[in-house]
Structure formats: C-alpha cells, structure tokens
Chains A and B, each alone.
Chain A
Amino acid sequence: MTFSEMLGENGDVRDCYAVVQQWVEETGIEGLHRRLGEAEAIFRRIGITFAVYGEGGDPERLIPFDLLPRVFTAMEWQRLEAGIRQRAAALNAFLHDVYHRGEIIRAGIVPADIVYQNKAYKPEMANFSPPGRVYSHIVGIDIVRTGLSDFMVLEDNCRTPSGVSYMLENREIMTRMFPELFARERVAPVDNYPSQLLRTLQEVAPPACKGQPTVVVLTPGSLNSAYYEHSYLADLMGVELVEPADLFVDEGLVYMKTTCGPTRVDVIYRRIDDDYLDPLAFRPDSLLGVPGLFHAYRAGGVTLCSAPGSGIADDKAIYVYVPEMIRFYLGETAILQNVPTWQCGRQADYEHVMAHLAALVVKEVHGSGGYGMLIGPQASADEIEKYAARIRANPGEFIAQPTLDLSASPTLGPAGLVQRHVDFRPYCLVGRDIRLVPGGLTRVALAEGSLVVNSSQGGGVKDTWVLR
C-alpha cells in the first residue's frame, strides 16, 4: 500500500503535518485555489518558467506549483543528511580513483569495461587532480520513499543538477503569501544556499589564483530550458552570468570581455555539457564553447565546476555499485539504500527482466529526464513487446527496477485534497567542506496514479519543509 506522507501508516495525521492540516481546514479548498491563482500570477510575472523543447504553444511554461508543502521531521532529516553527505563524498572519491589508479577496478569491485568504455568517461581527465580533489561540486541525489522509514536513492546527479531555484522560489512564495504558517511552525531556512554555493566555489579556486577568486556562472544562453535558474543563481551570488562568447583564453588563463577590457576569471560554475565546453578538447564540430578552456583548466589557470567527466559517477550502470563504493572508500555502510536493480548486460539479470517486464520499470542506462522509460504495469502488451525488442538488440544499454510504490503527499486537486506520488532531490555542496541546506526540491506527479515526476513530463513542485 502506498505510504501517505500526511497520514502515515495508521491513517492519523502525523504530527509534522498538523499545522498544514489545520491551515487547509481554515482556508478551505476554494480559498486555496484562489491563493494558488495568485501564486501563479507571481511566478509568471517574475519569469520563473522553463522552456520545453519540441512542443508548440507557450514557449515559456510555468512549472506547476502545488501549495501544500511536503514535510520532513528533524529526525528524518538527520538520517537523510548523513546518507546524502556520505554518498556525495564516496562519489567524489570514486571520480578521483577512476581518473587515477582505478583501485576499485583493480580490487574487482567495479568492472573495468563499464567505466572505461563508458561515453561519460573522459580520458582527457586522466591523471589530473582538480583543486581539493573535488569533481562534482553540486551533487543532486534523487530520493524516494516507500514507507515510514524506507528511503531509497533512485539516482545520482553529479554533473549540473538543476531545480535548486525552485527550492528557493517555492519557499520564497510560501513565506510571502502565508507568513502565518511560518510563524506557527519551526521550518529550517534554505535561503543561505546561494552563499553556501559561492563559498564552495571560492574554496576550489585554481593554483594560479591569488587573492579573492572571481567566480562566474557559464550558461549556454537565454534559450536554454534552465536559463532562469542560471541567472537566478548568478544574481543571488552576485557574480557575472557569462555565455561562452564572453570568455576567451590567453596564455593558459581565462578572461571575460568587459567594458574595461579583459578581466580574469578563476572559477567557472558551468551549466554547459562537457561536449560543448571547449571545441579544441571535446567536440571539434561544436560552435559553442571556449577554445582552449580545457587546457587552461589542466594547467591550473581556472577551475571548472563540475569537472569534465564527472558524469561517469552518475551513470545508471555505475549506480548499482555506489553502496560498495561507500564501503570501499569510506569504510562505512551505506545509510541510504539503492533501489534493487537488474543490469540487463548480465545474463542472469537479463533473463529475469525479460520474464517480468510487465512488473518492472526499465530505463536506458544513459537516459535522463524520464524519457525512454518503460513502466511495465502501465504499458500495453504492444508497448512491452516493442521495448523488449530494443532490450534484446542491446541488453547492456538497459537496467530494470521494481515498480516502486512511491509515497504520496497531499496535493490540491480541483475538488479537494488528493494523494499524489512524490520524490525528493536535495543539493549537496562539495568544496573543502561538504555542505547541505536543510531542504531540497520535492517533485510531484500531478496525474492520478502517475509515477513520473519530471517537469518535462507534467510533474509539478512543492515547498519542502524540514522541521526543527
């Protein structure tokens, strides 16, 4: 049975939701709808939209926002936080290892081919240590819940996880519209995230930097779907938001073009994929990018956050080994479990998956954003057959997981509160220290029974409360 975030296991409103429950009763469903309309008007005016590729209609859509917060108790958060920090540390240790001696491979824990044959593995990074040995500076860890104390990691995001602006804006809107709620409940603040991010980025300044490092956010441009977030973070950190054409490299150092002439740049929080960073190092056919950037990086003239090649750690084929990584590098037991996963590249797993397709969720190893998935229980026989053909053609490209009964959170529906499935993405910052603000982004699948929470697939977002 689906675990209800609000009603727990026995149907009584959990203590941590008492304030929310009372507020809903006082405001009434009609009142909530009216306030939701106001919230949407604010979002649109501020310009918090995301672009959806390949669709007609409004080119800048609002991500649906749900008024009812998702609540964690202090105890729950304590455990989540420990698990998240542990995972972020292990993933970074893994990255350093696979770009150096590869001890975990020599020890026979992770197979060599899924690392070195992986498209996300960048041989250009071999034997280079980024400042502080940090590769992934912002680790987004997607966590799902299936019971009162059952939390599992669905996937890791080590490149440039997006969505943190929603965490900040959702809270901003909630405090602006419902200050009385925050007077009644002790909710831990999240608004120091930008300053923590800036500190993290400053801590990993390159060897060539003397004095206060100059940090910039690098965006592909205003047509990118996450552009709002790029500008928002640059704004809150008080740093420049640059496009590739604003940067150039000279004698191993990176400069931005300003009205005063060239100005040195030390740390680049880049929101551009590896392939488009530097046409000289990665894709020669790319028109984007800053020629010579990667060379400047390796020469210690600039720091790229995250490091090129960090994607190897969040690959779905690597995911299954994360609990063992934690044991190998940290000598600890994983606090947060993985979802049981079958790798179709293994014969025994392959047979199991093919025999149980109707009960499983199958994903492409390199896919993201909820695209290209098979959700067995919701698929027709025809869809399953077509998907099976794809797996047969290339088993190594797929993994399968049981269909998880994600926890459900109360959500405002047209006629009243409804239960909708949610997940959770916290953002862990890794510099010289590991930092984590108490909160994250709760995504909600707005269609009844749906398990897909991605914003590109009709998911919405909620404010997330960690109680003190």
Chain B
Amino acid sequence: MRTTRAAAVAAVTMSLALAATACGGGSSTDGGGSNDSPKTLTYWASNQGASIEVDKKVLQPELDKFEKETGIEVKLEVVPWSDLLNRILTATTSGQGPDVLNIGNTWSASLQATGALLPWDKAQFDKIGGKDRFVDSALGSTGAEGKDPAAVPLYSMAYALYYNKKAFADAGIAEPPATWDELVADGKKLTGGGKWALGVEGSNPSENIHHAVVFAKQHGADFFTADGKADFTSDKAVAGVKQFVDLMAKDKVVAPGNAEYAQNQSVSDFAKGKTAMLLWQSASANLKSQGMSEDDYGIAPVPVQSGAPGTGTGVNSMVMGINMAVFKNTDNIDGATKFVKFMTSDAEQKILNQAYSSIPPVKGAQADAAFNTPANAVLKDTLAKSAVAAPQVADESQFETAVGTAIKGLFADAAAGRKVTEDSVKAALEKAQQQMPAK
C-alpha cells in the first residue's frame, strides 16, 4: 500500500512539474527592453574568419577588454552562416535570443520587418557617438529607406577580382582584365590543361545573388521597382543574369564542376592554383589560411562592361558587410548599447577589421594606414565609388533564395551541356518571381 501511494505521489508530482515547465521558462517576450541583468550579455557573432575557432581567438581578447572596462561579461557564440538566419528567426519567434548579434547587412530590411531588432534612432545613435561616425555606403544597408536603421555597420566588404600572378605571367597577360570582354579573352588563354580561368559557387544562392545584382545593374536593371515590387524578368535583368551564367555556358571560362560548389570550394581551387581568377569579398585571410602567400596574387576591381567602375552601370560590387544589432527584448539594454559602442570604437574597429581583412565602416578607423595597402585600397575605392546596396526591401531574403536558386538551376543546365538561352533564363526568373509573396 505504501509503495502504491508513493508511486501515485511521484506520478502527480512529475505531472505537475511537467505542466509547470511547459508554461514557464519564457523571458520577456513583450517586446520592450529592460536592464534586469546588467552584468551579462550574450553575443552571437557571425563566422568571419577561416573557422569558428579563429573567430573565437580574434574576439575573446576584445571581449575580455570590454569586461575589464565595464564589468559586463559577454558570452560569445560564433554561429556558422548556414545556421545564422534560422537561429535569428527562431530567436525572434521564441523571444529567447541573444542580446547583441551580427547580421548579414543584406538581411537588414527583412529582419527590420519582424520588429524584433532595436531601431537605431538619433538618441540611440548618439549614445555610440552619432550616426555621422559611419560612412554613408555602409549606412545604406542598415534597413529600409525612411525608417530608423535596424542595425549598425560593423565590418564592410566589397567584391574584388583576385588573380594569380604567376598564371597571368605564364599566359603572357600583363594587366588584370578591366572589362568582361577582356576577362573572357584572358580567360580563354588561362583555360586548358585541367586549369580554368575563373571560379564560381554555382550552388550557393547567396553568392549567385551578389553577382546577379551587379550584372543586372551593369545592364541598367534593378530586381525591385522603386516601390519595392519584385521585377525579375525585365530584358535587362535577363541579360545580366545570362551574362553571368554564360561565363560557364557560352564563354567556357568556368569549369562545369563549379555548378555544384557551395562550400567555398572555389576559394580552395584558387588557393591551389586550379583557377587563375576569383571574384570574392575579403578573401585575403581565407587564402592565407589555405597556404597562399599574399605575394602570389593580385587584387583588382571587378570588371565592368566598359570604361571604369563608377555609379549606375559602372557598379562592380554590392556593399557587403556585417551589421551589429540589438534584440529589442534584451534585459540589458544599456550594456548592449555600451557593447556596440565598444565594438564600433576606432580602436576596436582597427583591430577587428585587420583581423578579418575587411574595411572599417567607421570613418575614424578607415583613415588608418593599415587600410591603405594596395589590396585594401581597391576595396575601399569600390565601396566609396562603385558599390550598390542590396535591395532594402522586406522581401530581400526571399529574393536571395528564389533568384539565387533559379541561377543555381541555370548553372546546373550549363554544366549538363544544355543550352542557356534568353528564354530559359527568363523562364527561370519568372518562376522565381512567382514564388515571391503576393502583396
């Protein structure tokens, strides 16, 4: 009898405990921030270095410095790119997220629309030294126009053409190509004997998008109308996307195998000398970790259709970069603001951007001599003069997936030897457009 009663008591207790945990456990999901736990912060960093371990080594000493200055302990988690957006979405839904986090700057408008991120109005910006400490191009990718930014620029990056000096010398090419025609002509000289001229990441939707936006822009097309409607199938957009895919399909300067690349294999190929050229953002640190010496490659602006890079059809990169955001429901809003101030201070900007071979979006740090090397000069120049911001619309991340996947399919066609025609490109883009949310 006693054991029966004990069992019954245990069963009821366990049920109650279960019910209690099911209901409890949530923190403030009501939206407003607070200062309930002023001594700790959780920080999700994006993976900027060659590996997550490298990132921890770069960031931890700086976080220790911050703790010494303010007494606030920052718990760091470096989240791989493949998980970051999903993790942010989950955190947004559950209200259980970090206090401070890094976001890809192209996601700014999409994440802004969720309302989960703290808006950076003038008062908030003043706490970290004012909006005018940051360069304009970087501020252009922090949220939809006319709204308070959803994030603060942290690292800026731009695409550049990395070329293998020895391969160029062997093929008798003196200068890196400045136009696509030149690139294709040079590419034919560089291709052969198991080597190829250029590497792409054909199965990586985001990479595809970064190039497609620029190619379309060079043909005078945008993927979104001025009022934010999807417009993927204009003749000019089709021409831009086709020119990109034609590098493999028609010009044959890209190895067909690149159609299935999605894990930065094209960077490895370049580092190993299998390809002579690579279009990449801030690749220096990555190439170094793969054993390629800085003397072995040169950095030039990404080619344009004709003339020199500039605005309008002279655009040759998207404004790439990382923004730092604060979750609105943080329970340490003052600490989070202090942390953003610390990370965007001139001194920290110099240290961090040097470690990641990116460009500081903070004017004071950008002027530093460390960012005047020839390699950085190209990136800085591109960002200042010829980079275009990602479409700052709420549907940006859907656009990346839909059009990026369409281009992945086109590369697959090209790799299989199927014809890539204006019609097939248009059909693929049409399908992508139909997948966009109807408004």
Physical interaction between A and B: no
